[in-house]
Amino acid sequence: MRRVRPPRAGGPGASLARSRALDCYDRAVNLEAVIFDWGGTLTPWHTVDAASLWSAVCEPHYPPAEAARYAAALLAAEDSLWRECRASGRSATMTALFELAGVTVTEALLASYIGAWEPHTFTDPDAPELLSRLHDRGIQIGVLSNTMWPRSWHEDVFRRDGVLHLIDGAVYSSEIDWNKPHPAAFQAAMAAIGVTDPARCVFVGDRPYDDVFGAKSIGMRAVLIPNDDVPPYESAAPDAVISRLSELAPLIESW
Ligand SMILES: [Mg+2]
């Protein structure tokens, strides 16, 4: 919880300063949880060349012509599933992706896939200190990600980067029926960390529609970390915009 140094008794403006300090303390105490998006938020945004990635995944496991065919099928299936997710609001899984592409999954193929993704998954270096600082103030830490990946892959990433123990609860949309911005996804994330009042939650994400619009729609406060690739959504007005995670704790403490 936020601690506020009391003003010196009797000093000029002490009464006003004390009033402001207590207001600030009350607001900080009212904040119960911060819930983070993953891609582009807890892991910094960068572009992934999906066609090259799928080629790199398939090439070690098939003759060249077959590898090219499977890589193209997986790329098309992934694109199709994400378009379907955006249109319907529903979630998808890696199992559905491989089935749609007509590719039989093997452990070796999955290992190549996870290996190809590794350079794109590293946690923001600002995250461990931020999450620890929020924890020290008694704030619950949640994660809500639109993802086809199973929980174990995400947890392996967080464990590798030393932050898994700082996350109190997470919801990966591959485990539920809906993606952000559906209210059910945000409600599931709140349930995962044991909070019931969205007004006492802050959501942090990089997508104006999925993250900001979704969070604001159920009554959370929303902080946007923008990037040049994610499309705008004019109806979503974040409560604040930050350029890096290290700006979040001072922002929250100023509310
Ligand atoms: Mg994101």
Domain CATH code at residue 180: 3.40.50.1000
User: How many domains would you assign to the chain?
Assistant: 2
Distance 58 CA to ligand 1 centre (A): 26
What tokens does 162 get? Answer: 């030393």
Domain span including residue 238 = 27-44+122-254
The verdict on residue 15 lying in a domain is no
More confident site: 164 or 29: 164
| pTM passes above 0.85 | yes
The verdict on residue 21 lying in a domain is no
Query: Cα separation of 72 and 197, whole Å?
Result: 45
H-run or E-run covering 147 = none
- Examine the domain organization and report whether 203 and 236 are in the same domain: yes
Distance 47 CA to ligand 1 centre (A): 12
User: Which among 225, 252, 245 has a CA at the least distance from the CA of 124?
Assistant: 245
pLDDT tens figures, 19-70: 444 444 445 548 999 999 999 999 999 889 999 999 999 999 999 999 999 9
User: Average pLDDT of 97-104?
Assistant: 97
pLDDT tens figures, 183-210: 999 999 999 999 999 999 999 999 999 9
Distance 206 CA to ligand 1 centre (A): 5
Sequence length of the chain is: 255
